A and B are shown apart, each in its own frame.
Chain A
Amino acid sequence: MKFVKTVSSIAKTGLIVALSATILNLTGIAKAGEDVTPYYPLKKPKYSEWSFSGPFGKWDIGQLQRGLKIYTQSCAACHSLDLVPFRSLYELGYSEEQVKAFAAEYEVTDGPNAEGEMFERPATPADRFPNPYANSVEAALANNGAVPPDFSLLAKARAPKRGFPNFVFDVFTLYAENGPDYIYSLLTGYSEAPQGKELSEGTYYNPYFAGGSAPAMAPPLSDDLIDYDDGTPQTVDQYAKDISAFLMWTAEPVLVERKQLGFKVMLFLIIFAVLLYFTKRQVFASLKD
């Protein structure tokens, strides 16, 4: 018995050591040394207010329309939007004529025709946004070797690690806007490189970038770059918010529908559970004598 006790106390000590080491490690205290590989992004994304956050979140249609405008007038020069067909713009409150006219401004390749040749024609709502580059090699050549990522899923494909204990709280606060927060922070986060920091040719210092310390994208936004016709301020900050919201929509067009259905399902399950609870009590009451 004594032997077992000793083993037990050794095991417990070991556990406590491992536990505290893990905690130290998580909180980064043990990482004071400089030799550890730097963890990108250097700065965590800033928190923003989003109309679509929380269980009852809704799209701000005006904001999405402004985002579309920024995309088409600025980002579309480099970034593709492969998975989004023009027809989905109906969801942004546009009429059939508007979507048709919008699509017709783009040329897409079709064919082959009866002569066996490919031809260009105006896009229809069934088509997708055409790609600015013929292929990724061309895209990389035009952008200092970096391929501008496709925008269709970007807001879900960028979600810097939340770390302990944030990821625990997120379950209760329903924080799921990591992606748009990241894009917003990146677009508003360009700054002077710190003293002594060498940047390679064609990169721009941005501590919010997840792929290093300086993306190969020049700051794409500047004040008054795009004309808004609804009186919204034409600032980098506002632009960044609008395009980030738009990218959340392209990444998860069903977001609002999902949350609305979720509410009904949760309500049903909870009421059902309560009814079952009382039924169960009733059934088991017959056992107690």
Chain B
Amino acid sequence: MSGGHSKYVPVNGVMKWLDARLPLPRLVYDSFVAYPVPRNLNNWYTFGAILSMFLILQLVTGIVLAMHYVASTAEAFNSVESIMRDVNYGWLLRRLHANGASFFFFAVYIHIFRGMYYGSYKAPREVLWILGVFIFIVMMATAFMGYVLPWGQMSFWAATVITGLFTAIPLIGEPLQTWLLGGFSVGDPTLNRFFSLHYLLPFMLVGLVILHVWALHVVGQSNPTGVEVKDMKKETVPFTPYATIKDLFAVVLFFTLFAYFVFYLPDYLGHPDNYIKANPFVTPAKIVPEWYFLPFYAMLRAVDFDIIIPFTSIVLINAKLGGVIAMFGSLVVLLFLPWLDYGKTRSGNYRPMFRQFFWIFVIVTILLGYIGALPAEGINVLIAQILTAAYFAHFLIVLPLLSKYEKTKPVPLSIADAILESTARAKTGGTP
């Protein structure tokens, strides 16, 4: 929907001067003022704006925290506590940053599910989608390394468990792990490089987000009907004021929920063991990652069996490697979604079967998160295995089949048609 001619008119001489030399004001104007958005967007489409705000929040609070933080195994825990106790409003900064990570993920999950429901990954938005998956993966890496920094028991043991996964790689596994850790176990070199990377990755995120938004502005936003904009005049509205005010409202509502946790339940989403200084000689009774990693952790632990070549006892993939493959595979499969679900109809609104499977998928993911928090014993392992199978089946079996066989409902001819129809329905008081 870009490609149209820029309507930017500099308001004064300075802007005119700058625009002729570096058209930055024009870029901003075209991207966030005049940029046309479909007029039928619902509130699920505000999460992009919410996510941008959280990225900024993490950057600002993180940079100030880093001014007081000491990346050494002897000092890290106490330096974080001194942020909590002695730095002016340090407690607030840290609470914002720690809970901010959680709400960042909460928002990104909704954003991803929104994309899945409305088929936002389908042509011509494949690159946009893939950039999104990269953002998600980099976010996970960032959060994982950030969680190690306060050097509590969970920090240390999560780092130990997750970096231990690299030993699953045949032949080079062990040396690779030693190289990554900068030693034979998680220690000072590890903490220092994690801090360095934790500082770096968010800026790479900024870069990815810019690409993501660029790709968005090239192909234009999708919308709940899944029908592309045909008539710019009738079917779109300018970003400002329409999207701006809508996004701002959503951001403020989301921040209200966020503030509720920051001020009243600041430890609700955390693990109490992280208030105990890391101790390599004491393993916690249970090692659990932050809640936003739980579904993936569940898939990691679901594979507790070796995969052997049939009729022999030759182990092809041992349980550990199998778990790692399942965990990373669950992310990699997202990259291929545009080609796994190749049907023409975009929006779940017009795909009755898909819609059911979509909700099953959502529940499966939530249950995986649940199982991920429980000890991997007894029936839990079996449940995790069923759910993992369901997760992959959704992408590898269900979606391709649906693309081929599903009988979709007729989609509206245009967005304008859909809007007319829904207002007509609302007027006659019919059920939607």
Residues of A within 8 A of B (CB): 1, 3-4, 7-8, 11-12, 14-15, 17-19, 21-22, 25-26, 30-31, 36-37, 40, 55, 83, 88, 149, 152-153, 156-159, 170-171, 174, 176, 179, 251, 253-254, 258-259, 261-263, 265-266, 269-270, 272-273, 276-277, 279-280, 283-284, 287
Contact = CB atoms under 8 A, between A and B. Distances in A.
Given A17-B386, A21-B379, A25-B379, A261 B272 contact: no
A4 B375 CA distance: 35
Interface string B364-405: 100100110011011110110011001001000110011001
Contacts of B260: 262, 266
Contact of A18 (B78, B245, B367, B405): B367
A283 B245 contact: yes
A181 to B, nearest CB: 13
B311 interface: no
B265 A174 contact: yes
B252 A269 contact: yes
Contacts of A174: 264-265
29 contacts: A3-B405, A4-B401, A15-B363, A15-B390, A18-B364, A18-B387, A21-B382, A37-B375, A159-B267, A159-B272, A170-B268, A174-B264, A176-B264, A176-B267, A254-B91, A258-B91, A258-B263, A258-B266, A259-B263, A262-B259, A262-B260, A263-B263, A265-B259, A266-B259, A276-B248, A276-B252, A283-B242, A284-B242, A287-B237
- Which residue of B272, B357, B375, B397 has the most chain A CB atoms within 10 A of its CB atom? B272
Given A15-B360, A156-B267, A287 B272 contact: no
A14 B390 contact: yes
Interface string B82-101: 00110000011001000000
Contacts of B390: 11, 14-15, 18
A269 B245 contact: no
A270 B39 CA distance: 26
Contacts of B272: 156-159, 179
Given A22-B367, A153-B276, A283-B241, 19 more contacts: A1-B407, A3-B401, A7-B401, A8-B357, A11-B393, A15-B364, A17-B386, A25-B383, A37-B375, A40-B285, A156-B275, A170-B268, A176-B265, A258-B266, A262-B263, A265-B259, A273-B249, A277-B249, A280-B245
Contacts, number: 141
Nearest to A10: B393
Contacts of B375: 37
B273 interface: yes
Contact of B264 (A159, A259, A287): A259
B8 interface: no
B2 interface: no
Contact of A157 (B91, B249, B275): B275
A90 to B, nearest CB: 13
B293 interface: no
Contacts of A156: 267, 272, 275
A251 B272 CA distance: 12
B268 A269 contact: no
B73 to A, nearest CB: 16
Contacts of A19: 363, 367
Contacts of B393: 11
Contacts of A25: 374, 379-380, 383
For the complex of A and B, 5 pairs with smallest distance between CB atoms: A262-B263, A157-B275, A159-B272, A276-B249, A153-B275
A35 B263 CA distance: 42
A12 B390 CA distance: 10
A266 B393 CA distance: 43
B256 interface: yes
A263 B374 CA distance: 35
B81 A280 contact: no
B81 A152 contact: yes
Nearest to B257: A269
B255 interface: yes
B401 to A, nearest CB: 6
A284 B41 CA distance: 12
Interface in B214-271: 237, 241-242, 245-246, 248-249, 252-253, 255-256, 259-260, 262-268
Contacts of A258: 91-92, 95, 263, 266
A11 B21 CA distance: 60
Contact of B378 (A15, A36, A83, A262): A36
B353 interface: yes
Contacts of A287: 39, 237, 242
B102 to A, nearest CB: 13
Contact of A273 (B252, B367, B380): B252
B356 interface: yes
Contact of A171 (B268, B363, B371): B268
Contacts of A3: 401, 405
B385 to A, nearest CB: 10
Contacts of A153: 81, 275-276
Contacts of A179: 272
Contact of B386 (A18, A272, A280): A18
A72 to B, nearest CB: 20
